[in-house]
Structure 1
Amino acid sequence: MSDIMFACVHNAGRSQMAAAFFNRHKTHPSIKGISAGTNPATEVHPVVREIMSEIGIDLTNITPVKLTTELAQTVSTIVTMGCGETCPFVPGVKIIDWAIEDPKNKSVEEARVIRDAIEQRIKVFISENNY
């Protein structure tokens, strides 16, 4: 099994949370969750850093990463979260799309709802795929 990528446009919210939750909850030690964005921001959204910190996940030193075809070729699955047609197509890499609202410019309360929904989806994803 190889790594799983979580991708969104800015790599500053949804995909960062998803990768962090994947790495927290996975049971297969040799697989890791990574994240990237098609048009990466300069930093993780402050509200996302705040709400993840509340549950013990520190995203302070995380820098958004550009999603390239080369990076995509290093994973077995890409879970997209709103990057649409800008996500690269990579032969042999499974693509799953999750329609998840962007926490950018949301209140802390709204971002918490998104965070919790992502965590629940990740738990189901791990369980269904034996990760």
Structure 2
Amino acid sequence: MSDIMFACVHNAGRSQMAAAFFNKHKTQDDIRGISAGTNPASEVHPVVKDAMMEIGIDLSRIQPTKLTPELAKTCSTIVTMGCGETCPYVPGVKIIDWSITDPKNKPLEQVRDIRGEIETKIKEFVAENHY
């Protein structure tokens, strides 16, 4: 199995949404989306959980994960979402950067917009790479 990593600083918003959407929209069983953060929060942002639950994706049992070099090496691609210089460089792993607004402390209306932007990017990413 090959992994696609979605990474941000706290692993409590953008990367969680991206991994969930990737796993929803991918068509290949031998690949999965995972997420992690360079400085993980204690939980997924409540507003992110609410926004995702609105569309039937339950993140309530998801725990933010630390992005380690060992975990990164298990991935064929890492899609970063605003972790900048704190995101790891892993030789041989493709790195893609998406500049997406952090949903932390944003009202639900804005988180819905961020959710939509992420889902659109994921659909394009899946189609372009035949996942």
- TM-score for the superposition, normalised by structure 2: 0.99
Residue 85 of structure 1 corresponds to which residue in structure 2? 85
Aligned length: 131
CA RMSD of aligned residues (A): 0.7
The one-letter amino acid paired with 1:32 is: R
The one-letter amino acid paired with 2:114 is: I
Q: Give the Cα–Cα distance (whole angstroms) in 2 for the partners of residues 62 and 3 of structure 1.
A: 17
Q: 1:74 Cα deviation (Å)?
A: 0.2
SS of the aligned residue for 1:32 comes to: strand
The one-letter amino acid paired with 2:26 is: K
Cα distance per residue 1:62-119 (max 9 Å; x no partner): 0000000000000000000000111111000000000000000000000000000000
Residue 68 of structure 1 corresponds to which residue in structure 2? 68
The one-letter amino acid paired with 2:43 is: E
Q: Give the Cα–Cα distance (whole angstroms) in 2 for the partners of residues 103 and 95 of structure 1.
A: 22
Runs of at least 5 residues in structure 2 that lack an aligned partner in the other structure:
none
The one-letter amino acid paired with 1:17 is: M
Residue 32 of structure 1 corresponds to which residue in structure 2? 32
- TM-score for the superposition, normalised by structure 1: 0.99
The one-letter amino acid paired with 2:24 is: R
Residue 44 of structure 2 corresponds to which residue in structure 1? 44
Larger strand fraction of residues: 2
Residue 57 of structure 2 corresponds to which residue in structure 1? 57
